[in-house]
Amino acid sequence: MDIIRDVVIMKNNHGQALVEYVLIVALISVITVSLVSYFGGFLKDSITKSSCSLVDKVYVEGDKPGEAKCVSKEEYEKMEKEKSN
């Protein structure tokens, strides 16, 4: 009787290990999604800044992270004139 009980207990340990791995993967996923959502605007701005230099446009920062944009040099000069007036 004890042998049968020991075999049943040993089989349950494999399922426990699988559940632990699933919990670890879920925790890593939650942390990753949280970090990307927190730093997402900053990442978007850095990509926008790099792409502006590639297409020969001027990088203009937005009011909040993630709102930056590329504008042509003529548009940028118009924006600067409007700010100074």
Domain spans, the chain: 2-84
User: What integer is the mean pLDDT of 7-12?
Assistant: 57
Q: Which residues of 28-46 are buried (b: 16+ CB within 10 A; e: fewer)?
A: eeeeeeeeeeeeeeeeebe
Whole-model pTM above 0.75?
no
Q: How far apart are CA 38 and CA 66, in angstroms?
A: 11
Strand partners, 60: 69
Residue 25 has pLDDT above 60, yes or no: yes
- 32-to-13, 64, 65 alpha-carbon distances in Å: 29, 22, 19
